[in-house]
């Protein structure tokens, strides 16, 4: 691995002269400019030349021919007429983490030819991207006598996106792939499962997606298409099927293939032989579709509960990893809990020398590197785009009361010990990092246990809005992470205002090329862009926190805005033993009037929760005070029940036994904004299954008209306890005809 092997010879961004260094992002490892005030123009006949026969290079030349702006000037001594691309090893056709992607770029003062020499086709890609950034929108190159030598500091420069909770439409996937390529990032890690499995497996497990609308999963052709798009742009698609926890999307196989969960919530897979065989069959399909050497198995947040034990959890993890290694010669990757849970049992479910560990919480890179594991940094407080109070470059423009943390632009080597940083072998074990964007906020109950505040965007009819909402939170932040993994420069070499300027120019460039990204000068989050609410909806949090005062004081509850140090108006005064329900961010205070008056304060609720899911919590919290600590001025929160939406207790699996008809399962008494009835799932064939956690009705529709329907489930059940039903219902139609769909309670088999 190259780690800052080259020295920045020019002072990036420090000079008052505007030259190509003010446009390049990431900053190259080594660059010299003999004539920074000179300009060169691309002639009207500018063209690429190459002896490469590699499709990656040839298609890149086609793309960038349309991107790079030329002038109307005829050839002259001051024009650049040709970019020659030379590749030392023209054979690699697939991007890999270990591939040499170094390149050099030279523009001499006495020639009309610019030259890129690259180690491999994928190094040529990076060289072409750099050249494209050097040419401004007028077709002018600022500077002359330019020499660049460049290669990434880290081989793994990635982005995680969550499509299991809310699918990313193909337009969004393509936009993200393009943005990664323009930012010289090489990994798109797609979390493909969770409450759903978003991968079509028609020849093996059609039931996994049979209950979903066609736009709610990726067909095999769609996967092949975006994997190929990524390959041609030097991006590896790393698929994740999360096991053994977060696996509720496997539920259709409980009815059709006798798959078993080991917990009552049916989110964690059992380790019985049949279930393991089914899981391995799923990974067979994933390996066929994704050529990535790395296959991610998840492994996060798997804890003992019900009949689940750490032994059963690790058994599933190890069996899957060994299968990937022995049968498919692939490299397993997992979240750090595979290694660290439980503490003291390390390496637990990780296989030394084989498993790549993605460290997000609790366990750091120093620990996993010291244990001999290749590691990828994804510490959530720095690299999760869901963190509301993160900024690439917090500044005075955010206002005097803003509380933002510097994130995304990060030196991942600081996660190692000083000794490890000075050890080339240890440094190589730290492969790089991944910034992550999760879709929890877009996942409504009952699909997800916690009811996402922006769950209304889960409806496919809001795909266009979702592309903007999600995409504008991915970029430009992800580009900052990619640039820091390519060539991290500390504040001495790259002051914050220079970083902001470089990123802004890169962001404008990406947007001009069609990438969905938050515009310069704007704030973008789940619900708004540049101060404008998506579809005009001012979405309020789903928070429903019952605060119970367990202190000897009266507790003041005051309004609070996330990422702001100021406190708003008082909204409640809770006497000892009393309670109050809060529906937005808050902070608690009290006055201790014993020997010496003292103001007692709790954490802002959003800060205490630690991420954006504070908006979605339905739970009871005790407000506490520890009197044993002298001069204690802190009020604590103690959560005493689940954070999940209360309606999660309903767990009904529907199974179609109707031939040649599709059944639409629709929510009854929907609260959707246009008053329509939301489709909860779609039983497309005999044997299809579907998990429902809301009151529903089944309908068969022909030519837009309902030709058969079931009773509303609450009516069929007979009383209000329907919302606690935990069973399997078989749907039939008498004689295969008639206007009535019969529901039969068969219980869990």
pLDDT in tens, 103-156: 999 999 989 999 999 999 999 999 999 999 999 999 999 899 999 999 999 999
Asked if 507 contacts 476 with a C-beta cutoff of 8 angstroms, the reply is: yes
Q: How far apart are CA 47 and CA 58, in angstroms?
A: 13
Flag whether pLDDT at 262 surpasses 50: yes
Q: What pLDDT score does 645 carry?
A: 54
- pTM attached to this predicted model: 0.91
Flag whether pLDDT at 9 surpasses 70: no
Query: Domain locations in the chain?
Result: 20-150, 156-463+473-489, 544-639, 648-745
Nearby residues of 702 by Cβ (< 8 Å), 6 or more positions away: none
Report the pLDDT averaged over residues 462-486.
97
Beta bridge partner(s), residue 150: 103
Tokens of 529: 């862009």
Classified by CATH at the fold level, domain 648-745 comes out as Immunoglobulin-like (2.60.40)
Whether residue 511 is preceded by a cis peptide bond, meaning omega within 30 degrees of 0, is no
Q: What pLDDT score does 594 carry?
A: 65
Report the pLDDT averaged over residues 615-625.
93
Report the pLDDT averaged over residues 200-207.
95
pLDDT in tens, 536-570: 999 999 999 999 999 999 999 999 999 888 899 99
pLDDT in tens, 48-89: 999 999 999 999 999 999 999 988 889 888 999 999 999 999
| Length of the chain measured in residues | 749
Report the pLDDT averaged over residues 432-453.
92
Closest residue by Cα to residue 582 from 539, 610, 620, 554: 620
Q: What pLDDT score does 10 carry?
A: 44
Q: What pLDDT score does 734 carry?
A: 82
The runs of H, that is alpha helices, within 513-628 are 605-609
- % residues pLDDT > 90 (the chain): 73
Q: What pLDDT score does 647 carry?
A: 46
- Of residues 685 and 588, more confidence is placed in 588
Q: What pLDDT score does 1 carry?
A: 34
pLDDT in tens, 375-414: 999 999 999 999 988 989 887 777 888 888 889 999 999 9
Q: What does the mean pLDDT of the chain come to? A: 91
The SS3 call for residue 318 is helix
pLDDT in tens, 696-746: 999 998 888 899 999 999 999 988 888 888 888 999 998 777 889 999 998
DSSP symbol at 299 = -
User: Distance of alpha carbon 744 from its chain centroid, rounded?
Assistant: 40
Helix 170-182 with 220-232: angle, nearest 10 deg: 10
Q: How far apart are CA 224 and CA 388, in angstroms?
A: 34
Closest residue by Cα to residue 212 from 160, 251, 263: 251
Q: How far apart are CA 225 and CA 240, in angstroms?
A: 18
CATH of 20-150, one of 3.10.20.30, 3.30.379.10, 1.10.3720.10, 3.30.1330.180: 3.30.379.10
Exposed, middle or buried by CB within 10 Å (0-12, 13-18, 19+), for 512? exposed
Q: What is the layout of strands, in order, in the sheet containing 586-592?
A: 567-574, 555-560, 586-592, 598-602, 634-639, 618-624, 544-549, 579-582
Q: How far apart are CA 365 and CA 383, in angstroms?
A: 14
Q: What pLDDT score does 673 carry?
A: 45
Report the pLDDT averaged over residues 171-180.
98
Q: What is the CATH number of domain 156-463+473-489?
A: 3.20.20.80
């Amino acid at each position: 691995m190259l780690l800052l092997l080259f020295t920045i010879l020019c002072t990036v961004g420090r000079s008052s002269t505007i030259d190509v260094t003010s446009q390049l992002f990431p900053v190259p490892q080594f660059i010299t400019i003999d004539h920074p005030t000179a300009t060169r123009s691309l002639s009207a006949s500018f063209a690429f030349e190459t002896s490469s026969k590699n499709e990656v290079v040839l298609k890149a030349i086609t793309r960038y021919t349309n991107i790079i702006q030329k002038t109307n000037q005829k050839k002259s001594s001051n024009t650049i007429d040709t970019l020659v691309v030379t590749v030392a090893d023209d054979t690699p056709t697939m991007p890999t983490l270990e591939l040499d992607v170094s390149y050099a770029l030279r523009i001499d003062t006495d020639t009309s030819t610019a030259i890129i020499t690259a180690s491999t086709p994928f190094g040529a890609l990076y060289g072409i991207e750099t050249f494209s950034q050097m040419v401004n929108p007028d077709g002018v190159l600022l500077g002359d006598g330019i020499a660049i030598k460049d290669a990434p500091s880290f081989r793994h420069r990635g982005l995680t996106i969550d499509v299991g909770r809310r699918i990313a439409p193909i337009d969004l996937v393509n936009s993200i792939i393009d943005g990664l390529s323009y930012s010289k990032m090489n990994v798109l890690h797609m979390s493909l499962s969770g409450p759903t499995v978003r991968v079509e497996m028609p020849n093996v497990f059609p039931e996994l997606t049979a209950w979903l609308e066609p736009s709610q999963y990726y067909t095999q052709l769609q996967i092949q298409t975006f994997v190929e798009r990524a390959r041609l742009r030097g991006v590896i698609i790393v698929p994740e099927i999360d096991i053994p926890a977060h696996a509720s999307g496997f539920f259709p196989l409980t009815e059709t293939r006798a798959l078993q969960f080991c917990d009552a919530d049916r989110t964690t897979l059992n380790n019985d032989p049949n279930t393991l065989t089914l899981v391995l069959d799923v990974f067979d399909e994933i390996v066929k579709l994704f050529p990535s050497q790395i296959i991610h198995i998840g492994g996060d947040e798997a804890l003992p509960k019900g009949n689940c034990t750490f032994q059963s959890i690790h058994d599933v993890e190890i069996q899957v990893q060994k299968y990937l290694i022995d049968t498919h010669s692939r490299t397993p990757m997992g979240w750090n809990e595979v290694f660290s849970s439980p503490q003291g049992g390390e390496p637990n479910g990780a296989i030394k020398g084989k498993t790549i560990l993605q460290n997000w919480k609790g366990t750091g890179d120093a620990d996993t590197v010291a244990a001999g594991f290749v590691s990828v940094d994804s510490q959530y407080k720095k690299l999760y785009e869901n963190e509301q109070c993160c900024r690439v470059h917090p500044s005075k423009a955010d206002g005097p009361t803003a509380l933002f943390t510097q994130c995304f632009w990060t030196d991942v080597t600081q996660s190692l010990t000083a000794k490890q940083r000075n050890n080339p072998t240890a440094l190589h074990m730290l492969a790089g990092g991944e910034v992550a964007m999760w879709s929890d906020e877009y996942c409504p109950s009952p699909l997800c246990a916690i009811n996402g505040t922006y769950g209304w965007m889960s409806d496919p009819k809001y795909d266009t809005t979702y592309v903007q909402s999600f995409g504008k939170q991915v970029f430009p932040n992800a580009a900052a992470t990619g640039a820091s993994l390519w060539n991290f420069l500390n504040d001495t070499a790259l002051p914050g205002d220079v970083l902001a300027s470089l990123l802004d120019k890169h962001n404008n460039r990406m947007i001009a090329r069609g990438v969905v990204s938050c515009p310069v000068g704007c704030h973008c989050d789940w619900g708004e862009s540049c101060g404008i609410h998506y579809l005009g909806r001012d979405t309020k949090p789903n928070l429903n926190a019952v605060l119970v005062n367990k202190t000897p004081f009266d507790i003041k509850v005051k309004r609070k805005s996330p990422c702001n140090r100021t406190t708003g108006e008082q909204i409640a005064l809770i006497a000892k033993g009393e309670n109050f329900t809060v529906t937005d961010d808050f902070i608690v205070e009290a006055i201790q009037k014993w020997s010496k008056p003292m103001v007692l304060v709790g954490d802002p609720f959003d800060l205490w929760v630690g991420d954006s899911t504070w908006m979605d919590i339905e739970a009871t919290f005790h407000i506490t005070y520890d009197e044993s600590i002298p001069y204690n001025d802190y009020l604590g929160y103690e959560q005493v029940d689940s954070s999940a939406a209360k309606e999660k207790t309903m767990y009904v699996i529907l199974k179609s036994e109707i031939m040649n008809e599709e059944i639409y399962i629709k929510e009854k008494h929907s609260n959707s904004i246009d008053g329509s009835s939301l489709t909860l799932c779609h039983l497309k064939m005999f044997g299809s299954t579907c998990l429902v956690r809301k009151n529903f009705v089944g309908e068969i529709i022909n030519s837009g008209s309902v030709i058969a329907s079931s009773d509303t489930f609450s009516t069929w059940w007979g009383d209000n306890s329907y919302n606690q039903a935990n069973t399997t219902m078989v749907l039939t139609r008498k004689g295969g005809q008639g206007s009535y769909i019969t529901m039969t309670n068969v219980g869990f088999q």
